[in-house]
Structure 1
Amino acid sequence: MDFIFTRPDSKTSAAALEVCHEYAEPWLLNHSLRAYSWAAAYASLTDIAYDGELLYVAALLHDLALTPAFDNHALPFEEAGGHVAWVFAAGAGWGRVRRDRLAEVVVLHMRDDVPAEDDPESHLLQVAVSADVSGRGLDRFPDQVKDDVLTRYPRLGFADAFLSRAEDQAERKPRCAAAALMRDGWAQRLTNNPLDAPGR
């Protein structure tokens, strides 16, 4: 499954990786790269057809609004991230419809589950981010895939760093999705993610 680590061959995909390298801390960069890898692996395991470039760019940009440069004082981070992604896509020359789709995928990664038949890219990113952040659905992935993803993109203290950002979002924006998840025990699920178990 080496293909899950292969960037789609497009200038926009390369630019998304460059932007993520520039603005995301190492733990967040690796989370974004793992998100794409989990999504691509799950698509292969379940035979879901998807737009590789759209999914890759969404995965690389989906959490940029958690960084100081793009944090928004009022909007939930996924909505702010959708705007960042839309502007990025405009600069990349994507048409209006494709820009809107990218923003939608970024926003939906924090919303209720989307069926694959309705929106494969959003579904795949939701599955991937849920697995990487809280361990939800990890049983869908063979052990070899889990080992390969973590070897290629180590966690680098992801749980503590991400939890700190999520708690900050919840405190400042009590009506946002992150706040609702925190009230529902997200912090415990995040810190108990099997991907962070000793010896992995």
Structure 2
Amino acid sequence: MFPSTTAATAAASVATRFYTPALFNHCARSYLWGVKYAVAHDITFDDELYFVSAMLHDLALTDPFDSHRVAFEEAGGELAWLFGAAAGWPADRAARAEEIIVLHMRDDVPAAVDPESHLLQVATAWDVAGRRPEEFAPEARADVLEQYPRLGFGEEFLACFEDQARRKPDGAAAAAVASNGAARIRANPLDH
């Protein structure tokens, strides 16, 4: 189900160590939602790169890696670059992981331009706020949620974003909170 490369295994180990169970499951679900979406839309993507980015994309929301000055997606991107470099990736591949994580909180990126960023955007928007429900059939939802249950993810994630918004008012988390993000998170069909 997950890629079995050395970097993918290491990313899963990092995620297991530093995320709460709810955040870990969110990252695993984000990977799986993106893969399901890619298959349905015939999107070719780099599986290892997407998996590593999906598993590490919220690392900067955790206490050990939370930057008090840098928006979480930018700090998370820097951590992914560091991870990629430590994994022996060439600089351009490490930079791609950074870019994917930063872009997942920006305006939509078309799949034809950047498939991995597009997949992470679609997958996280679905898992966090219930966007594009028509893309994910009830059977697929049940299968993914059985493997990786929500475990109170919505409220935990909202608390993280509200904290980020207070401390970093110019970041993407603040923009999400200001644009009624709490209501979208609480209305997510995955929680109902």
User: Which interval holds the TM-score relative to the shorter structure?
Assistant: over 0.9
Counterpart in the other structure of 1:155:
150
SS at match of 1:69: helix
Q: Cα distance, 1:141 vs. partner?
A: 1.1
Equivalent position of 1:181 in the other structure: 176
The letter for the 2-side match of 1:8 is P
Instruction: Name the structure 1 match of 2:96.
Output: 101
Structure 2 residue runs of 5 or longer lacking an equivalent are none
Q: Which amino acid aligns with 2:55?
A: L
Amino acid at match of 1:177: A
Per the TM alignment, residue 9 of structure 1 is displaced from its structure 2 partner at its CA by 2.2
1:1-200 correspondence to structure 2 within 5 Å: 6-197=1-192
* Post-superposition offset of 1:85: 0.5
Runs of at least 4 residues off by over 2 Å = none
Q: Distance in 1 between matches of 2:134 and 2:161?
A: 25
Q: CA RMSD in A?
A: 0.5
TM-score, normalization by structure 2: 0.99
AA partner of residue 172 (structure 2) = A
Gaps of 5+ in 1: 1-5
Distance in 1 separating the partners of 2:4 and 2:66: 30
Secondary structure in 1 matching 2:108: coil
Give the TM-score taking structure 1 as reference length: 0.95
Deviation of residue 138 (structure 1)? 1.6
Aligned AA (1:19): V
Pairwise CA distance, 1:111: 0.5
**Secondary structure of the structure 2 residue equivalent to 1:139:** helix
